[in-house]
Amino acid sequence: MTQGIATADLETILDAASSAAPAAAAAQPAERIRWLTAVADALDTAADDLVALAAEETHLPVTPRLRGELRRTTFQLRLFGQVIADGAYLGADIDHADLQWPMGPRPDIRRVQVPLGPVLVFAASNFPFAFSVAGGDTASALAAGCPVVLKAHPGHEQLSARTAHIVRAALLDAGAPEGLFAMISGVEAGVTALKDPRITAAAFTGSVAGGRALFDIAVARPTPIPFYGELGSINPVVVTPGAVADRGSDIAREYVASFTLGAGQFCTKPGILFLPEGHGLDEQLRQAVSSIPAQPLLNQRIATGYETRLGELRAAAAVDTVVAGARTDQLSFTPTLLAIPAKDFLVADPGLRQECFGPASLVVTYHDQAELHRALALLDPGLTATVHGEQEETGVVRALLAILNRQAGRLVWNEWPTGVTVSWAQHHGGPYPATTAPTTTSVGAAAIARFQRPVAWQGFPDALLPEALREGNPWGLPRRVDGERNS
């Protein structure tokens, strides 16, 4: 694989995606399910090869991490098959003509979701399967009926090329239109594609800086397009006095396990732990951190970035280094734990509140709930916010949830934010800078909605309506008819 693709090749790819769009939109639900299943099956079949390649390029452990991530990825493709089979994602609602409609006679109006058209997906570095070539953005766009042009992440080039080859072959074997999926590489090709009028939406997972730069391009186009960027998050975890008293040691151990998971390269890594003053967990935290072996980061760029950023954090006023991690080779680090009193955190450099990608986290000790609330109010919105507390601390916990509910896409109780299950009710998103599109999710069944737009049909005879809207409901869809659900 080269450092980019030729302009002529990009032109061919965009043209093919554009040409495939009408066929993809017109495909029956069973066809689209077959496409997704074929991709999942092909990836499962190639699992050993893919996992080995991924391990080589990303330095992530094969078990449980990479095997688990691939399982998640193929599960996700099949779950979107279930989303299609379920049919609610089409939002097929019908209002029959009604002369008595209170605002005046109503014509027959029927609405259904249609695919937006070709989607440009920017792959992430830290999840070489689940947020890369055949990851959630690709799966949900294909499920919606959109062709996908995938911009590979340079952090795992060979794996990307191999995965893309499998995806393309599986789709074509399953009868999908040529052009439904293609991969491009190189920053220039990505930006050129993002500006191209044939691209109708884009999705991205990565840093705030990178995501914002692409968002700015997407919205500055003569024809702006939806840009679904999942960016950064500090993921605060608040521990109440009651929780410290009841199970402080467990919390200390679990916190360290969570912020060092995957070498701290998760967008849901707990970046700040709020502990009450006098928590008495210093020794437990120190021991837990010291017990974690060195882990390699994804690549040189990330390793260098982490070391620089960590140096800034350690040098910040009033920051105490509880455990100083070490660089053990070109890529590898043992974890670092920092601490600061909340009173100093309140006046500290804003950089202290920003994500640090790698195995480090910051403990903020608070004097009382009022001080804690002030510190939480300083934080940018994020993907998650976690409370470890006791149900009996009703007032304290409710006050915290009232604050955190305004700041996060997912609230976690007595668990840890790392690990994002793929399910019907999942939400992975949040107000900016967690994402560039606060009303949407990039994980879970609802992710498909990002790549659809509604079309209303007014006054059509049954034979001219799309099948989803015909009176006899040939697809057996859940529909709202004349305002009544389940009709």
Nearest to 177 by CA among 291, 285, 347, 23: 23
Nearest approach, Cβ of residue 485 and its own copies (Å): 6
Indicate the residue among 37 and 414 with the shorter CB distance to its own copies: 414
Indicate the residue among 164 and 422 with the shorter CB distance to its own copies: 422
Element (H, E) at 201: strand 201-205
Nearest to 78 by CA among 119, 134, 27, 28: 134
Bridge partners of 148?
A: 119, 181
Indicate the residue among 79 and 360 with the shorter CB distance to its own copies: 79
CB contact burial 306-336 (16+ within 10 A = b; e otherwise): beebbeebeebeebeebbebeeeeebbbbbb
In whole angstroms, what is the distance from residue 170 CA to residue 431 CA? 36
Active site residue 267: yes
Collapsed DSSP state (helix, strand, coil) of residue 450: helix
Q: How many other C-beta atoms are found inside a 10 Å radius of the C-beta of residue 73?
A: 28
Indicate the residue among 461 and 474 with the shorter CB distance to its own copies: 461
In whole angstroms, what is the distance from residue 139 CA to residue 137 CA? 6
Collapsed DSSP state (helix, strand, coil) of residue 247: helix
Collapsed DSSP state (helix, strand, coil) of residue 174: coil
Nearest approach, Cβ of residue 465 and its own copies (Å): 9
Indicate the residue among 278 and 454 with the shorter CB distance to its own copies: 454
Active site residue 307: no
In whole angstroms, what is the distance from residue 236 CA to residue 247 CA? 19
Nearest approach, Cβ of residue 436 and its own copies (Å): 6
**Strand-strand pairing, 332-333 and 236-239:** unpaired
Indicate the residue among 264 and 433 with the shorter CB distance to its own copies: 433
Nearest approach, Cβ of residue 156 and its own copies (Å): 21
Nearest approach, Cβ of residue 477 and its own copies (Å): 11
Indicate the residue among 3 and 405 with the shorter CB distance to its own copies: 405
Nearest approach, Cβ of residue 389 and its own copies (Å): 9
Element (H, E) at 309: helix 300-315
Indicate the residue among 71 and 247 with the shorter CB distance to its own copies: 71
Q: Tokens 């909340």 appear where?
A: 342
Nearest approach, Cβ of residue 339 and its own copies (Å): 27
Q: What is the 3-state secondary structure (H, E, C) of 89-130?
A: HHCCEEECCECCCCCCCECCEEEEEEECCCEEEECCCCCCCC
* 264 Rama class: left (phi>0) / alpha (psi -120 to 50) / beta: left
| Catalytic annotation, pick one of 57, 230, 254, 355 | 230
Bridge partners of 2?
A: none
| Structure-block tokens of residue 214 | 């692409």
Q: Are 208 and 232 spatial neighbours (Cβ–Cβ below 8 Å)?
A: yes
Distances (CA, A) of 162 to 76, 102, 206, 286, 357: 19, 59, 22, 42, 27
| Catalytic annotation, pick one of 254, 267, 356, 371 | 267
Nearest approach, Cβ of residue 73 and its own copies (Å): 9
Active site residues: 230, 267
